[in-house]
C-alpha cells in the first residue's frame, strides 16, 4: 500500500468532461435536476465507477451512491459528495467540483491499495439547486427524513411543467439496469462535502481552504397578487385594481430596507411573472419569488414577518388580494465540532492555510448535519461569483482543495 495522492490531471480532466454535459454558449452549464443532461452526467459517473470496480446504488429519490467496500462492510459508511445538478445559467464548478473531488479521493484510495475499515461512499444528491423544482436539497432532505414528503410527487418543473414524479422515476429507470437500488436513508458515520465558496472571502484573503463551521438559514416565499385585468386605455385610476402596482410598490420598499438595514440579511427576487402579459391590458396577476437569508433564525422570523406585512399593506392599498406560500424553510445549522476539528488537524498536517467561515449558500450538508456529524470545505472562486456562467476556480485551487479533502478523509477514517 502506498500513500494516497490525488491526481491533479485526472481531476482537471474530469471537471472538463462533466462541464461538457449541458455546456452553454456562455461557458457555463445548464444541467438542471432530473433533466436529460442530469441523467447523462449520472450515467457518465456510473460508468467511471463501475470501471473502477466500485458498486453503485440509487435510492427512491435518485440519490446516487458509489461505494468502496470496507474491511467491515457492516459499519456505517463515511459519506462524501455533493450534487451534479446546476442552475439554468450555472457554473461548471457549483456541485460538480465537490462531487468529482470526492470521486477523485475514492480513486486515490483505490490507486494506493487502501482498504478502509469502514466503507466510503460518494453520494450525488438529487436536486440540490431547487430552481427547476422547489425546494432545494430534495434528495438529501428525503434521505435524512427517510421518506419523500407528501405533495412532492405533484410538483411541476418551472422550465417545462414536467411532473416531478415522472422525472424522478425516469431518472431512476435510466440507470436501473446498471446499478443497485436501496431504501431511502441509512446510518452514516460522518458526512463531508467540498464546495466552492460562492463568495469573495477566500480569494480576497488569499486563503486556499475554508473550514465551514455552519450554514445560514434560508427561506423562500412564492408571492401572488391578484387584481382585475381591464383595458389599459379606458380604465381610470379610481377603477383600477392593479396587482403589479401593488407588487412593485412593496418590492421597492423591501429593497430599500431589508438589506440596507440588516447587513447580514440577503433579500433576492429571482423570478417575477405577470399575466396575461399584454401590453394594453392591466395585469390580472403579478407574482414573484423571494429568497431571504440570515445566520440567525430570530432575525429571519422578524424579517419574514416584515415582508408579509408590507405585501399585505400593498394589496390593501390597491384593493387586490395577495397569497404568500413558503416553499423553503432551512434553519441555520452549526456543524459538528469533532468533524470541524478533524478538518483543522488535516489542514495542519497538510500545511494548508485556512479560515473558519459559515456558508451563505445552502448545501446538502445542512440536512446531513441533522443525520450524522458533518462539515464542509470551501475553495475560492474568482470574484466570489457563482450561479453565473462565468463561475471559475483556478486549477491550483481545485487541486489544493482535493488534497485537503483527501487529508481530511484520511483523518476522519482514523478517528471514526
Ligand atoms: O441557493 C443556494 O444557496 C444553493 O447554491 N443552491
Ligand atoms: Mn451547490
Ligand atoms: Mn448552487
As a whole number of angstroms, the distance between CA 25 and CA 29 comes to 9
The reported pLDDT for the residue numbered 245 is 98
**Residue 218 CA, closest ligand 1 atom number:** 3
Binned at pLDDT 50, 70 and 90, residue 2 comes out as confident
Residue owning grid cell 472571502: 201
Residue 1, pLDDT > 90, answer no
pTM of the shown model? 0.95
- pLDDT, tens digit (0-9, with 9 covering 90-100), for 45-63: 999 999 999 999 999 999 9
Question: Distance from the CA of 94 to the center of ligand 3, in angstroms?
Answer: 6
What does the alpha-carbon distance between residue 179 and residue 43 come to, in Å, rounded to a whole number?
Answer: 10
Q: Which of 95, 98, 136 to mutate to test the pocket of ligand 1 (most atoms within 8 A of CB)?
A: 136
Shortest-distance atom of ligand 1 to CA 130:
6
Nearest residue (CA) to ligand 1, atom 6: 129
pLDDT digits (tens, 9 = 90+) for 120-147: 999 999 999 999 999 999 999 999 999 9
171 within 8 A of 62, measured Cβ to Cβ = yes
Provide the mean pLDDT of the chain. Answer: 98
Helices (H), 289-369: 297-317, 337-350, 364-368
Q: 306-339, pLDDT tens digit by residue?
A: 999 999 999 999 999 999 999 999 999 999 999 9
Q: What is the mean pLDDT of residues 267-276?
A: 98
- Ligand 1 atom with the smallest distance to the CA of 363 is 4
Q: What domains lie within the chain, and their CATH numbers?
A: 8-215+332-415 (3.40.630.10), 217-330 (3.30.70.360)
CA distance 114 to 19: 30
CA dist 414 and 91 (Å) reads: 34
**195 CA distance to ligand 2 middle (Å):** 7
pLDDT grade, residue 281 (50/70/90)?
A: very high
Give the closest ligand to the alpha carbon of residue 266: 1
Question: With 90 as the cut, is the pLDDT of residue 383 above it?
Answer: yes
Calculate how far, in angstroms, residue 128's C-alpha sits from the geometric centre of ligand 1.
7
Gap between the terminal Cα atoms of the chain: 21
What is the SS3 assignment for 238? helix
Q: Calculate mean pLDDT across residues 207-219.
A: 98
**Cα angle value 289/290/296 (rounded, 5°):** 155
**Whose C-alpha lies nearest to ligand 1, atom 3?**
361
User: Ligand 1: which of 31, 133, 198, 219 to mutate, most ligand atoms within 8 Å of CB?
Assistant: 198
Q: What is the pLDDT of residues 89-122, one digit of tens each?
A: 999 999 999 999 999 999 999 999 999 999 999 9
Number of H helices, E strands in the chain: 11, 17
Decide if 37 contacts 46 (C-beta within 8 A): no
Residue that the C-alpha cell 423591501 belongs to: 254
pLDDT at 372 over 80: yes
**Looking at the CA of 359, which ligand is closest?**
1
DSSP code at position 149? P
Expressed in angstroms and rounded, the spacing between residue 113 Cα and the centre of ligand 2 is: 31
Spatial distance between the Cα atoms of 118 and 162, rounded to a whole number of angstroms: 40
Span 271-295, mean pLDDT?
98
Residue 229 gets which letter from DSSP? -
Amino acid at each position: 500500500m502506498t500513500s494516497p495522492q490525488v491526481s491533479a490531471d485526472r481531476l482537471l480532466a474530469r471537471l472538463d468532461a462533466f462541464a461538457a454535459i449541458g455546456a452553454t454558449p456562455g461557458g457555463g452549464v445548464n444541467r438542471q435536476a432530473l433533466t436529460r443532461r442530469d441523467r447523462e452526467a449520472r450515467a457518465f459517473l456510473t460508468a467511471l465507477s463501475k470501471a473502477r470496480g466500485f458498486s453503485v446504488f440509487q435510492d427512491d429519490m435518485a440519490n446516487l451512491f458509489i461505494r468502496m467496500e470496507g474491511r467491515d462492510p457492516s459499519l456505517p459508511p463515511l459519506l462524501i459528495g455533493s450534487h451534479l445538478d446546476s442552475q439554468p445559467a450555472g457554473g461548471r464548478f457549483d456541485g460538480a467540483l465537490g462531487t468529482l473531488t470526492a470521486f477523485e479521493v475514492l480513486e486515490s484510495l483505490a490507486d494506493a491499495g487502501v482498504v478502509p475499515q469502514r466503507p466510503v461512499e460518494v453520494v450525488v444528491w438529487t436536486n440540490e439547486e431547487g430552481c427547476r423544482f422547489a425546494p432545494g436539497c430534495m434528495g438529501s432532505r428525503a434521505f435524512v427524513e427517510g421518506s419523500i414528503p407528501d405533495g412532492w410527487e405533484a410538483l411541476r418543473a418551472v422550465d417545462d411543467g414536467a411532473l416531478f414524479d415522472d422525472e424522478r422515476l425516469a431518472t431512476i429507470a435510466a440507470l436501473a439496469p446498471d446499478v443497485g437500488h436501496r431504501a431511502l436513508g441509512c446510518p452514516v458515520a460522518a458526512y463531508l462535502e467540498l464546495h466552492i465558496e460562492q463568495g469573495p472571502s477566500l480569494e480576497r484573503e488569499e486563503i486556499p481552504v475554508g473550514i465551514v463551521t455552519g450554514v445560514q438559514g434560508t427561506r423562500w416565499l412564492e408571492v401572488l397578487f391578484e387584481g382585475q385585468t381591464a383595458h389599459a386605455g379606458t380604465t381610470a385610476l379610481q377603477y383600477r385594481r392593479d396587482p403589479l402596482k401593488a407588487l412593485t410598490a412593496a418590492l421597492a420598499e423591501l429593497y430599500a430596507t431589508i438589506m440596507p438595514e440588516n447587513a447580514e440579511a440577503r433579500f433576492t427576487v429571482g423570478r417575477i411573472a405577470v399575466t396575461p402579459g399584454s401590453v394594453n391590458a392591466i395585469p390580472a396577476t403579478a407574482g414573484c419569488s423571494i429568497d431571504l437569508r440570515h445566520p440567525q433564525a430570530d432575525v429571519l422570523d422578524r424579517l419574514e414577518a416584515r415582508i408579509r406585512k408590507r405585501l399585505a399593506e400593498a394589496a390593501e392599498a390597491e384593493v387586490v388580494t395577495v397569497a404568500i406560500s413558503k416553499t423553503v424553510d432551512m434553519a441555520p445549522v452549526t456543524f459538528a465540532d469533532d468533524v470541524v476539528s478533524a478538518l483543522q488537524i488535516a489542514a495542519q498536517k497538510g500545511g494548508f492555510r485556512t479560515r473558519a467561515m459559515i456558508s451563505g449558500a445552502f448545501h446538502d450538508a445542512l440536512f446531513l448535519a441533522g443525520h450524522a456529524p458533518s462539515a464542509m470545505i470551501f475553495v475560492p472562486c474568482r470574484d466570489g461569483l457563482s450561479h453565473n456562467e462565468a463561475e471559475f476556480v483556478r486549477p491550483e485551487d481545485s487541486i489544493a482543495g482535493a488534497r485537503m479533502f483527501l487529508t481530511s478523509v484520511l483523518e476522519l477514517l482514523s478517528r471514526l
